[in-house]
Amino acid sequence: MADASILNAPPPGLSDQRRSDEPCTIVIFGASGDLTWRKLIPALYHLYCQGQLPSPFRVVGFARRDKTDESWRGEMRAGVTEHANGPHDGLERWEEFAANLSYLRGDLNDSEAYTALAARLEQFGEPALRANLVFYLAISPSLFGLAVDQLHEAGLLERLEDDAAGWQRVVVEKPFGKDLQSAQELNAHLIRHARERQIFRIDHYLGKETVQNIMMFRFSNAIFEQLWNREAIEHVQITVSENIGVGSRGGYFEEAGTLRDMMQNHLLQILSLVAMEPPPSLAAEDVRNEKVKLLKSIRPITPETVAEHVVRGQYFAGAINDEARKGYRQEERVDPASNVETYVAAKFFVDNWRWSGVPFYLRTGKNLPLRASEVRVQFRPTPNVLFAARDDLDLQSNALTLRLQPDEGIFLRFNGKVPGNTIATRPVRMQFGYDSEFGAYTPEAYERLLLEVMAGDATLFIRRDEVETAWQIVDAIREGWGDEPITNSEIYAAGTWGPEAAEELLARSGHKWHNPQPEK
């Protein structure tokens, strides 16, 4: 049953009033890694400058490399200098912030290192700094189980009752397994020493302001929610495109591929927010219940029907903005005969009352023409009478675009009459842009997510059954592909919008992709 304090919580990401300002300590495992340097410490520094961190607080970095407090602080300062942005990108308050940072050298499989961690926490004078703990596992997923085992053995992590004096929370980064079986094993290991409500699985996409705004847009605007169903909507497209290749991540990508790396988490999470039913409240469990119900309503794609509903692709050499790009098989640490997909497009149906018969097209890929994430809702065309019956008019169906990144905003396309003495029409666009409307700094995803961890609000995090349901969807697709080699219709040049087969996927239903446009 949901905690009463959560039931009365304000909408996720929509309130400046924090629900908890209890002092706490954040322990970052993998403190010498890229995520800590590039995202976590800059996010914490921003929060500190905005007065949103609890007082007091401490951050303890835990990693194998031999560093002192001062040397680690120096590295983190460099990270803030390079990666911080917005109103607090200076270092005026760095020294007072850095006084709360310390470093502990230790190996993840060394029990004495965890004993030393417990001793370090005991040195903090404020009792809440020892009782309220966030363990951020910025490490390889294969080491999650080892870390929670060692934390438990050191007395730092327990399955706490609701009325416990303090709290302990474990934050884990994706990937959450590589298939359903490994995800189930990982989840079982995590909850061996912590309750599900103590586990916070991060998908940074859910921390983006524009992704959070999907719920606000849908459920606070009657003019759109009335149309959000099969009666008015013809189909929905969700595009997450990247204009870079795999770069130095070739080894990881050979194991993961785009289906596991992007479709299983980011795109299915966006789909669940776009299509879910209104939750009875904004309590974390109510919101997550509706997301899971939506994912479970997706019509299963069996291995036998994969070819009909899913397209994969792999990029070969091309150019983006006159910059030459090598093919995937020429990338570092990639098999020269690799069949790993760098592009996926899928056609899903949601078998419930609201969405029956409405196709949802999802696509994501690397080395596409530009970096963009957007949701396009295509409304049904008007009846073939009056203006729609005339062949000489440029009449297009209405469309609503939620641009998640970059150039964040919402755009509505409708038909308008061109001024003059003849009846001529042209599609026009109403535009809302975050920058022009609010003119304010949009918080980085990790800022919001770190705040929610400290507040104990799991709304923006992924629950165990969400993870496992998503894996059920993609496992069947992988089984359908099997060991079949990439075909000519599945390859695409870097700098194009994907393979020919992806266009055919929509053309069979009389639809076509809407490609995101560059910023203007």
CA R_g for the chain: 24
Q: What angle is formed at CA 180 by the lines to CA 309 and CA 297, rounded to 5 degrees?
A: 50
SS3 232: coil
Sequence-distant (≥ 6) Cβ neighbours of residue 174 within 8 angstroms: 141, 201, 202, 203, 265
SS3 331: coil
Closest by Cα among 453, 450, 459, 471 to 176: 471
CB atoms closer than 10 angstroms to residue 152: 16
Q: Is 363 left (phi over 0), alpha (psi -120 to 50) or beta?
A: beta
Residue 169: both structure tokens together? 């929370």
Polymer length of the chain: 520
Q: Among 88, 193, 235, 266, which one carries the catalytic annotation?
A: 266
SS3 29: strand
CB atoms closer than 10 angstroms to residue 386: 9
Sequence-distant (≥ 6) Cβ neighbours of residue 92 within 8 angstroms: none
Concerning whether 266 is annotated as a catalytic residue, the answer is yes
CB atoms closer than 10 angstroms to residue 357: 10
Q: Indicate which residues carry an active-site annotation.
A: 266
